[in-house]
Structure 1
Amino acid sequence: MHKTSSRLLALLSLLQVHRDWSGEDLAGRLDITSRTVRRDIDRLRELGYPITTVKGPAGGYRLEAGTHLPPLLFDDDQAVALAVALRTAAAGTTVAEDASRALATLRQVMPHRLRHRVDLLRITAVQPPAAGDTRQVGAQVLMDLSRVIDAREELRFDYAPSSGTSADDPRRVQPHHLVTWRQRWYLVAWDLHRDDWRTFRVERIRPRTPTGPRFAPRQLPGGNVSTFITSRFRGNGGTTIDWPCQGEVVLGLPAADVAPFAEDGVVEELGPRHCRLVLGSWSWTGLAAAIGRFDTDIEVIGPPQLAAAFRDLAARYTHAARATSPETGPAS
């Protein structure tokens, strides 16, 4: 039987799987009695973990979201993956400073074997020449814009002048989308003063409070944000390639994590953990392979050729995995 401290950690690790656990299942997993499970649950609650009791024939427990971030447990692979994501974000994204601080905190508590693996990773972010004047976007501004977009509330903001221009009057818009294009963040919105669609550089936006009334969303020209953005920048200082194969997917990653690796694509924020990516390539197989490098779940929106390319690659990779045995090497 585990000692109390290690048993509490094991119990917490199980509860972090984001599912309901019956008391009997937890007792069986930890090789303890149901009474001990109840006592350990109470100890975790005293430490600040919001564990609720699930009603039902057998009863159970669930770890809920709380009002503050409690200590978390990660297995080795999760810890390394988190460190890699933070180091990537710290190498030139809009949340670089926060990512660096988070990485330092994580590294400090890592066991030596994991710290060594993370320290071997070296990432250098190379920004395209056109983005050399890009100022960093604060995480708070992204959160503020995401909130009003989700709430469908009108937004008032000051818009910092570009070089050589005078300051604009405060803007009043209906915000629709946050997107990245060629290493820059943009807000796509309906400008209520100009009665037209506009794109605003996010690093120049200073939101005002309070926000305005709620509004009914309008239909974007072109039908989707990718068509709208590419049409706006084509021939207007933004180099656009008319790829013969272009597809749309939803990735289980934040937009800020995808944007640095999708320079020629359009990344649209869908939430804190999801984004839409529209990307092009010279072939459907090449496009599927390029999207597959993102280590996350992928939902293909379209077209059917892209889904077929993923199926072909999956079959090819499966065959390659079966043809090579770790013990014997490649099959003869």
Structure 2
Amino acid sequence: MTDTPARLLNLLSLLQTPREWPGSELAERLDVSPRTIRRDIDRLRDLGYPVEATRGSVGGYRLVAGTAMPPLLLDDEEAVAIAVGLRAGAGHAIEGVDEASVRALAKLEQVLPSRLRHRVSTLQNATMPLTRGDGSTIDPHTLTVMASAVTGRERLRFAYRAGDGAETKREAEPYRLVSAGWRWYLVAYDLGREDWRTFRVDRISEPFATGARFTPRELPTGDAAKFLSSSITRRQPGLVVEATFAAPADFVSARLPAAFGPLEPVAGNGCRMRAELSDSLEWVALRLALVDCEFTVHEPARLVDYLRELGARLNRATAR
């Protein structure tokens, strides 16, 4: 890589991953000599980036928190606002806040000075977001630890609680974090089971990056989102839902998770939906009701029956 500005940006991107990078590995990644890496590190330091170096056979470089924010395009107020927003979004798996946002949070919190970290924690602890109640709340720290392990290719140890309550200790090679809109999942190669697994992040505790590096294995589907979808489908029979709405497709799609799929316009300014979902009957019924327009469910019959029973129950509640 002969373009110095581009090389410096790539080097900075690598160093913003919370791990220590040997000079030889950085040189290999950027296709330059170790001497060039040393010169580039000096250039970054001249620009104000606090790059720390350790000596020895296992020494390397890492970006550390300095006494002030590095010269990013953020001031203190903006950095605090972004960190608080990302932590709130990540902690509640808000749809659209995906792995890229968690990686951004991991990088930002790594270089925040202690005075700004304190402000972020104070704001986080003093506020309570109003959430939809259809997802599980998780600790943003858990996400950032795992996102850093994914990016740094570090083995991860954690405690896991299965759906039946059984608790186990796991060691895995993390591949990707996937946001399913209302819930986070970790796709990883489970070293104890010698196979690929998906883990619900809200059931993970005590995540710890071991520091042991690994070469990523080839995921069977080649895509983490597809692997997660097929894994959920195997564990839980799909719910094929067909419904029509008395509202335009853009109005309805803005109020439904992306998993509900595309909507087809129908006569009379309405739209039709047909989707195979891996969610519970109760959750699907709730999401349809929250669209805030008239709708008709055509299938499955058990969803029709459930909505009829739910409607009768609500009518009884208002009568009392």
Task: Normalising by structure 1, report the TM-score.
Answer: 0.38
Q: Structure 2 length normalisation: TM-score?
A: 0.40
